[in-house]
Amino acid sequence: MKIHGFNTLTLLDYPGHLGATLFLGGCNFRCPFCQNAGLVLSPQSEPYIEEEEVFSYLKKRRGILEGVCITGGEPTLYENELPGFISRIKDLGYLVKLDTNGTNPELIRTLRENDLIDYAAMDIKSSKENYGKVAGVKDLDISSVCRSVEYLMNSGMDYEFRTTVVRELHSTEDFVSIGKWLAGCRAYYLQAYKDSENVIQRGFSSFSREELDDFCRLLRQTMPLVKTRGID
Ligand code: SF4
């Protein structure tokens, strides 16, 4: 497994747990607001960390760190390697959280059914109507994304859905539609977009705190837990 980034200590990435985060390269989406342009567009040019270095650190931090978050890029592109890799992490006693864009529902199911993941955070790019535009993929077939939503909502595991909200890409209508689609989901987070040099396409902006709060109120009509993240 090629690991392109290793955040050795985070309080933010694994809800409620002290964790570490591993970044894998490559993605099948091209969300223009993506904060990891290098990892997505040219992972082969990114530096990488030896797997054994990561395992040696995780061995030493047993009992201190509680969880490992696996993010990207899109980790589920590594469907052959990921189960074995996570299995080694679980053998060390860690909780594992998977961040995913939901395009590989079969792998999410396999990981869950083999007790390899404890928490999944799945991106919801937009309403079904505008999904391809926000994911940066023309004529995107979102059936796999829908199957992942369906699976997570019925899996009994801890999960969250989350949307990075971009003024130029999202509208109130999108959240009306998402509210119907994901009605009754366990937890939904709206993440404020932040511009940076690492995004795939510059020039986007965020909604104001008040506007994001309005979206939250709208979504709470169908979801019990809706919160914002990343607002200054
Ligand atoms: S935001 Fe996530 S799904 Fe979109 S391109 Fe970046 S890594 Fe891929």
Q: Is the CB of 30 under 6 A from ligand 1?
A: yes
What was the pLDDT predicted at 100?
A: 98
Closest ligand 1 atom number to CA of residue 36: 6
What was the pLDDT predicted at 232?
A: 67
Torsion of CA 142, 145, 150, 153, to 10 degrees: -140
Let me know: does 161 contact 124? Beta carbons within 8 Å. yes
Give Cα 76 to chain centroid, integer Å. 11
Half-sphere exposure in the Cβ direction for 157 (13 Å, CA): 27
What was the pLDDT predicted at 36?
A: 94
CATH of domain 3-229: 3.20.20.70
Per-position pLDDT tens, the chain of length 232: 889 999 999 999 999 999 999 999 999 999 999 999 999 999 999 999 999 999 999 999 999 999 999 999 999 999 999 999 999 999 999 999 999 999 999 999 999 999 999 999 999 999 999 999 999 999 999 999 999 999 999 999 999 999 999 999 999 999 999 999 999 999 999 999 999 999 999 999 999 999 999 999 999 999 999 999 987 6
Residue 96's closest CA among 106, 79, 77, 82?
A: 82
What was the pLDDT predicted at 230?
A: 81
Distance 102 CA to ligand 1 centre (A): 11
Closest ligand 1 atom number to CA of residue 101: 3
Q: Where are the domains of the chain?
A: 3-229
Q: Report the distance separating Cα 188 and Cα 82, nearest Å.
A: 26
Pairing of strands 3-10, 19-24: antiparallel
Torsion of CA 84, 86, 89, 94, to 10 degrees: -150
Q: Is the CB of 72 under 6 A from ligand 1?
A: yes
Length of the chain: 232
144: tokens are 């796999």
What was the pLDDT predicted at 110?
A: 98
